[in-house]
A = this chain, B = another copy of it.
Amino acid sequence: MTVDDPRHAFMRRAIELSRVKMREGEGGPFGAVVVHEGRIVGEGWNRVLATRDPTAHAEIVAIREACQRLGRFSLEGAQIYATGEPCPMCLGAILWARIEHLYYGNTRLEAAAIGFDDAAFYDEVGRPPDRRALPSERLLADEARVVFAEWAAKPDKVRY
């Protein structure tokens, strides 16, 4: 890594977003950028408070913008720079988007130290459904399964 490492510029842009948008009251202190072929194609910051949307984390916002700009649901070959270690929701989004490399600044423990539940949610997601704090029950599995079977048999389906 050199002084002119472009990865530093991308992460600094994410950090700038985290600072500016937090000060504007958009949400928590988190920013992210998605980079494809050497340029930023998506920018995001936490907008949970501004949009009253608990899913509006920086990474989700950046991924959605990048996909709209590129016109596709896969970000294969792209990198994401996030100022905080992605929570399970955002890591899931990164995986579904097929992003190839993650760079992050603060860890889940540092997020916990300033009052966020990322670390606790990693623990919760890691448990089987019947051992979580969130009560979870199966219901009408036989009826739901019929639609899965219809998908399996669908000849023209697009995989994602």
Chain A residues in contact with chain B, CB under 8 A? 7-8, 11-12, 15, 18-19, 22, 27-29, 48-49, 52-55, 60, 63-64, 67-68, 71-75, 81, 83-85, 87-107, 110-111, 113-115, 117, 121-122, 124-126, 129, 134-141, 143-145, 147-152, 154, 158-160
A105–B136 contact, CB under 8 A? no
B135–A101 contact, CB under 8 A? yes
B54–A148 contact, CB under 8 A? no
Q: Give CA–CA (A113, B85) in the complex, Å.
A: 31
Chain B neighbourhood of A74, CB < 8 A:
54
Instruction: Give the contacting residue for A160; candidates B28, B103, B110; CB below 8 A.
Output: B28
B134–A95 contact, CB under 8 A? yes
B94–A150 contact, CB under 8 A? no
